Amino acid sequence: MKKIFIITFIITIVFPIYSQTIKKLAPLSKSETLDYSYNLDKDILTIYKINESKKQIYFENTEALWGGYQISKDKKTMIFWKNTFERSMPLYYLDGNTGDVKFLGKVPFGARMDATGIYLMNEDVYNSGVFTIFNLNTGKIVSEITWNVKNKEKWTSTGAVFDILRAAENGEYDFMVLFSIERLCISKAFVKITSSKVFTEFDDSNLSEIQLRQSANYGNNFTGWY
């Protein structure tokens, strides 16, 4: 059976990210949007500005990471990492509305920008279950949340990890967090930026991996999937 839990946000003012402008571009017009391409041979991320059929190079990241870039729903802002082969790597924020390219400091790969392109959610300490939401324009912390998965240590010791995603399947929330191992979802939650709560859709961490995989394969009432 699905279970619902409410966990409270803890508001804090520690460890803000940087928000230092390193380059100033011409702001996008109302009709212009961003697009991008990635050169696998040269590891170059090219960001374009597009106005109807006209496409111009707007900015390039010459030390890019494949898959290490995200774009807002309105295609006006982007974040992208510089590849230094570490878990936390230099992260940059391009705001086409202002033309600012900002350095945000070293941020774990796996952090997620929300659909508006204003906020960033990350797990600063690997597999801690503690998540921080930042305002990308100011670098200031908006909130910090601890998701208390019931049997987290049992699962992390065998390889389970947290993944932050946009909550595309649920328009009421901004982020979705999955706790999973080898394509098996153990627990799932949603986060709303403007709320002081997180919604846990299910937490099946008390079950064994055999139980979860059997339930996923045979359609029982448990919520794991394979």
Residue 210, classed as helix, strand or coil, is helix
The rounded mean pLDDT for the chain is: 87
Is a pLDDT exceeding 60 seen at residue 13?
no
Over range 91-102, report the average pLDDT: 97
Per-residue pLDDT at 10: 38
Over range 21-45, report the average pLDDT: 96
How many C-alpha atoms does 221 have within 13 Å on its Cβ side? Answer: 3
Cα–Cα distances in angstroms (integers) from residue 94 to residues 43, 91, 130, in the given order: 18, 10, 26
Is a pLDDT exceeding 90 seen at residue 44?
yes
Is a pLDDT exceeding 80 seen at residue 90?
yes
Is a pLDDT exceeding 60 seen at residue 87?
yes
Is a pLDDT exceeding 90 seen at residue 182?
no
- Count CB neighbours of 196 within 10 A: 13
| Distance in angstroms (rounded) separating the CA atoms of residues 7 and 226 | 27
Q: Is the dihedral of CA 180, 181, 185, 186 positive or negative?
A: negative
- Count CB neighbours of 185 within 10 A: 19
Per-residue pLDDT at 139: 87
Is a pLDDT exceeding 60 seen at residue 95?
yes
| Distance in angstroms (rounded) separating the CA atoms of residues 1 and 15 | 39
Per-residue pLDDT at 19: 75
Look at residues 176, 200, 178, 151 and name the one whose alpha carbon lies nearest to residue 4: 200
Over range 86-95, report the average pLDDT: 96
Lowest mean per-residue pLDDT among 78-92, 143-157, 190-204: 190-204
Per-residue pLDDT at 196: 65
Angle at 111 between CA 139 and CA 18, to 5 degrees: 20
Over range 50-57, report the average pLDDT: 92
The residue with greater pLDDT, 113 or 8, is: 113
